[in-house]
Structure 1
Amino acid sequence: MNKWILRMAPLFVVIGLITGCGTDEADQNESNNDQVQTETNENTDGELNEDEIRMTISKDDGEEYIAEKEIEIEEGAILMDVLQENFDVETGEDGQFITSIERVPAEENDQKAWIFEVNGEMANVGAAEYELSPGDEVTFDFQAWE
């Protein structure tokens, strides 16, 4: 009986290894297929669709990335409304001054604030008044004010 078990044990080990490796390969193929599908659904070339904007949230002049999203908008959408619909945003009592985005608060003693640029240029109006156009690239950056 012991001789039979000793002869069959290597066979069982080989079958177990083949079965285990086959499962890992199938899981890996499934994972790769999911990844390809995800990449296919996203713009891999970095270009926006004709009715989208890209909004980036960062800190310290872009040194720390917090979030980025491509958002579908209508012509003339107000920046503050789009921001509040897509991110966790807190404002002052008047609703005009942004005090926190994605749980990063602006505190008086820090001398930092949320500054925004559209297409690489600072706007001359606040986010509550700024009208967006499709294709705009908006960056909100939490930085020291000078």
Structure 2
Amino acid sequence: MKKKIIIILSAATALIALAIILWIIGRNSGPNPISEETAEVTVIIFANEEELANDSLSVSADTTLMDAMKENYELTVSADGFVEAIEGIEQSVDNNEFWVFEDNGEMVTEPAEEFILEDGDTISWELMEF
């Protein structure tokens, strides 16, 4: 009878030890969270000689300017992908006023929907008369 109890206790101890080992292995080898790269950018918006916004945004890697703008501001975009209004302030074709943007003080020739933001960018939107 003693021998049977010793065998049962030994088996139970072995099973508990095995369960603990498997639990530890599972914790250490589980999926590692993927650290997604982010970019810190500044967006400044001017209209009618007034600063409407000056915000620091944290965006995911490969985020386009258009996506960041849509996510953070009230935006109206034409079917052709041109920004027609930001925060309710519309451009005026009749007055030759259009929304344009610069990156780090330089005019950008590609559309906002293709422009990929990079860490440290300062984007300036301005309603300009041409």
- Is the TM-score greater than 0.5? yes
- 1:1-80 correspondence to structure 2 within 5 Å: 51-60=39-48, 63-80=49-66
Q: Which amino acid aligns with 2:46?
A: S
> How many Å apart are 1:124 and its aligned residue?
1.6
Residue 54 of structure 1 contacts residue 135 of structure 1 at CA under 8 Å; is this kept in 2?
yes
The structure whose residues are more often strand, as a share, is 2
Separation in 2, partners of 1:56, 1:68: 4
The answer on whether the counterparts of 1:106 and 1:112 sit within 8 Å (CA) in structure 2 is yes
Q: How many residues align?
A: 93
**Shift of residue 51, structure 1, vs aligned partner:** 3.0
Cα distance in 2 for residues equivalent to 1:86 and 1:105: 17
Matches of 2:53 and 2:116 in 1, distance apart? 22
Return the structure number with greater helix share.
1
1:138 alignment partner, one of 116, 123, 127: 123
Residue in structure 2 matched with residue 46 of structure 1 by the alignment: none
Provide Cα deviations, 1:58-87, integer angstroms capped at 9, x if missing partner: 025xx3111121100122210000001000
Aligned partners of 2:88 and 2:115: how far apart in 1? 23
Structure 1: gaps (5+ residues): 1-49
| Ranges of 4+ aligned residues in structure 1 off by more than 4 Å | none
Quote the sequence identity (%). Answer: 28
Secondary structure in 1 matching 2:79? coil
Give the counterpart of 2:100 among 107, 115, 119.
Answer: 115
Question: Matched residue of 2:118: which SS?
Answer: coil
How big is the alpha-carbon RMSD for the aligned residues of Structure 1 and Structure 2? 1.3
TM-score normalised by length of structure 2: 0.67
CA contact (8 A) 2:46 2:53 kept: yes
Compute the TM-score of the two structures, normalised by the length of structure 1.
0.60
Larger CA Rg, structure 1 vs 2:
2
Structure 2: give runs of 5+ residues left out of the alignment: 1-37
How far apart are residue 108 of structure 1 and its match?
A: 1.5
